[in-house]
């Protein structure tokens, strides 16, 4: 019997890990520059952390992995923000950390949806949350962090789509305008949109099934429902993006797939022709009442999330160089009954900071040299029974075939000297 990964999951094989390690390194470098600190939350939470009252999102209504343990219901996390805000409130970080609190997360998420390119049932997500302050300039800075990351990964074929959902008053006005507009067309809409009509009619504009319907194209524009304060806030966000030199396109129909957003929402998408339906690289927005929902004070926040798989795939498509695999500093060859001495020498080298492969199998000298070549070892150390007896060792520098015989105590010094020559 041959076992396979569950549908919608995948293995990351050793030869692919260098790309993941590279991106994770870049993420930690960039978040450090922007003064974000890492937070790690559980892979599952109480279901009510994600399933909030009257939530119209597909993620909550269709895609969550939920299981019961006795009287308790738990859900594998489908996104990162809810758990971070729950933790922010539970541990009262608003009282122990300077505001705004800048947090980032990196880990697995789970959604039960149809697997396709760039979309899996288990996926890895990087995200940031900037909590406890509200300003248009912070919104622009948040977008800038993600924009920097994408650019640093060599992805140039991108554009920023941005919109505003306005404040509570503006949203209420727009919801009413949409309900009046769509009421005569309910029978033309899919079952999901008929549900969204009652829960959150803004989400109808984001429907992938009804997007070609004439009633969607003729829907009222949100900008017409904005009050003066919301217009001014959005105008300042755009001015801040202009100041940072980040190009953008205002998209009136951009509402995002989660219900908790207010004011600024944005998506950064790939403009490559082959990106298809999964063009979004990262997306997010501001939320004004999320902290309060979990029992904290009335605080605003803003964040975004990036799917790591999609980021790595797009970077690869654009020919980005993720660097070479880790090379081998030294390969220890053993001749005769010297396996314990080979083991001890390899460990001594590792203790002194060298990356080492040691032959601990009964193999010929020729096969051991071939193995050293495959590992691209910079130095080959040859240890036979005579060398062990005399306290000496043969060392070969593969770059120029230089070979010396030295006393064993001088080995570390010799390799460090050659390293200096190569620097």
CATH code, domain carrying 412 = 3.40.50.800
Query: How high is the pLDDT of residue 271?
Result: 84
pLDDT at 275 over 70: no
Where does a domain end: 318, 343, 378?
318
5 lies in a domain?
Answer: no
Dihedral angle at the C-alpha atoms of 113, 45, 53, 93, nearest 10 degrees? Answer: -130
Check the annotation: does 104 bind a ligand. Answer: no
> Does residue 192 lie in a domain region?
no
For residue 410, say whether it is annotated as part of any ligand binding site: no
Q: How crowded is residue 92: how many other Cβ atoms within 10 Å of its Cβ? A: 12
344 and 261 co-located in one domain: no
**How high is the pLDDT of residue 19?**
94
Q: Is 28 annotated as a binding residue?
A: no
pLDDT > 90 fraction of the chain, expressed in percent and rounded: 67
Tell me if the bond preceding 100 is cis, omega within 30° of 0. yes
Q: Is residue 8, in this structure, part of any structural domain at all? A: no
- Express each pLDDT in 95-123 by its tens digit: 999 999 999 999 999 999 888 777 899 99
Q: In whole angstroms, give the CA distance from residue 266 to residue 254.
A: 7
Q: Is the same domain home to 263 and 312?
A: yes
Confirm whether 135 is domain-assigned.
yes
Q: How far apart are CA 31 and CA 25, in angstroms?
A: 10
221 has binding-site annotation? no
CB 18 within 8 A of CB 322: yes
Domain boundary among 297, 318, 339: 318
Task: State mean pLDDT over 257-283.
Answer: 79
Q: How far is Cα 219 from Cα 227, in angstroms, rounded to an integer?
A: 19
Considering its fold, how many domains does the chain have in total?
A: 2
Q: Is 129 annotated as a binding residue?
A: yes
Whether 402 is covered by a domain: the verdict is yes
pLDDT-based confidence at residue 157 (cuts at 50, 70, 90): confident
Is the pLDDT reported for residue 277 higher than 60? Answer: no
State the pTM of this model: 0.86
DSSP H helix total and E strand total for the chain: 16, 16
For residue 181, CA distances in Å to 134, 167, 168, 226, 253 come to 32, 21, 20, 17, 15
Does one domain contain both 237 and 160? yes
Domain that holds residue 157: 14-167+227-318
Mean pLDDT, all residues of the chain:
90
Which CATH number goes with the domain that contains 143? Answer: 3.30.930.10
Does 219 fall in a domain? Answer: no
Question: In this structure, are 246 and 368 located in the same domain?
Answer: no
Whether residue 237 is found in the same domain as residue 131? yes
The CA distance from 153 to 26, in Å, is: 8
Same domain, 398 and 267: no
Residues 292 and 249 in one domain: yes
Q: What H or E segment, with its residue span, contains residue 382?
A: strand 379-384
Pick from 412, 423, 380, 411: nearest CA to 398: 380
Domain boundary among 296, 318, 340: 318
48-70 pLDDT per residue, tens: 999 877 665 667 777 899 999 99
Q: Report whether 79 belongs to an annotated binding site.
A: yes
Q: What is the pLDDT of residue 324?
A: 78
Domain assignment present for 181? no
80 is in an annotated binding site: yes
pLDDT tens readout for residues 188-223:
888 888 888 877 787 787 777 877 788 888 888 888
Annotated ligand binding at 180? The verdict is no
Same structural domain for residues 287 and 408?
no
What secondary structure, in 3-state letters, does 344-375 show?
HHHHHHHHCCCCEEECCCCCCHHHHHHHHHHC
Is residue 361 within 8 A of residue 313, CB to CB? The reply is no
> Is 384 inside any structural domain?
yes
* Cβ contacts of 15 within 8 Å, gap of 6 or more: 325
Q: Do 135 and 111 share a structural domain? A: yes
* Residue 24 assigned ligand-binding role: no
Residue 241 CA to residue 17 CA, distance in Å, equals 35
Q: In this structure, are 243 and 375 located in the same domain?
A: no
Pick the range with the lowest mean pLDDT from 84-88, 129-133, 173-177. 173-177
Indicate whether 150 and 265 sit together in one domain: yes
Secondary structure (DSSP) of 267-287: EEEE--GGGTT--EEEEEEEE
Q: Are 171 and 258 in contact (CB under 8 A)?
A: no
- pLDDT > 80? residue 310: yes
Residues 28 and 83 in one domain: yes
State pLDDT tens for residues 17-27.
Answer: 999 999 999 99
């Amino acid at each position: 019997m041959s076992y396979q990964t569950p549908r919608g999951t995948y293995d990351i094989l050793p030869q692919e890990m260098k790309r993941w390690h590279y991106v994770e390194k870049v993420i930690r470098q960039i978040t450090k520059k922007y003064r974000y600190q890492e937070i790690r939350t559980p892979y599952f939470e109480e279901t009510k952390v994600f399933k909030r009252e009257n939530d119209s999102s597909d993620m909550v209504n269709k895609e969550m992995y939920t299981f019961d343990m006795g009287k308790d219901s738990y859900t594998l996390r489908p996104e990162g923000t809810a758990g971070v805000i729950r933790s922010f409130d539970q541990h009262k970080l608003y009282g122990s950390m300077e505001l705004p609190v800048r947090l980032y997360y990196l880990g697995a998420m789970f959604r039960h949806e149809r697997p396709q390119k760039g979309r899996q049932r288990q996926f890895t997500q990087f995200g940031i949350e900037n909590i406890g302050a509200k300003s248009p300039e912070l919104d622009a800075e948040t977008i800038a962090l993600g924009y920097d990351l994408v650019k640093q990964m060599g992805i140039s074929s991108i554009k920023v789509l941005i919109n505003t959902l306005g404040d509570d008053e503006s949203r209420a006005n727009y919801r009413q305008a949409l309900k009046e507009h769509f009421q005569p067309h309910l029978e033309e809409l899919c079952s999901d949109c008929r549900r969204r009509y009652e829960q959150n009619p803004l989400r109808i504009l984001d429907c992938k099934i009804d997007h070609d319907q004439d009633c969607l194209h003729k829907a009222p524009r949100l900008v017409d429902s904005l009050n003066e304060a919301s217009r001014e806030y959005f105008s300042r966000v755009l001015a801040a993006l202009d100041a940072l030199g980040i190009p953008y396109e205002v998209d009136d129909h951009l509402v995002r797939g989660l219900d908790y957003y207010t004011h600024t929402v944005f998506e950064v998408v790939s403009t490559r022709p082959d990106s298809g339906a999964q063009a979004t690289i990262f997306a997010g927005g501001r939320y004004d009442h999320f902290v309060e929902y979990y029992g904290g004070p009335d605080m605003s926040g803003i964040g975004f999330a990036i799917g790591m798989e999609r980021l790595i795939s797009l970077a690869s498509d654009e020919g980005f160089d993720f660097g070479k695999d880790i090379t081998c500093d030294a390969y220890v060859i053993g001749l005769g009954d010297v396996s314990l001495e080979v083991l001890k020498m390899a460990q001594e080298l590792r203790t002194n900071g060298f990356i080492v492969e040691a032959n601990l199998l009964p193999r010929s000298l020729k096969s051991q040299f071939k193995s050293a070549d495959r590992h691209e070892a910079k130095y080959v150390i040859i240890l036979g029974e005579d060398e062990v007896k005399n306290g000496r060792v043969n060392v070969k520098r593969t770059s120029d075939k230089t070979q010396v015989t030295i006393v064993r105590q001088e080995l570390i010094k010799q390799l460090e000297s050659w390293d200096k020559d190569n620097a």
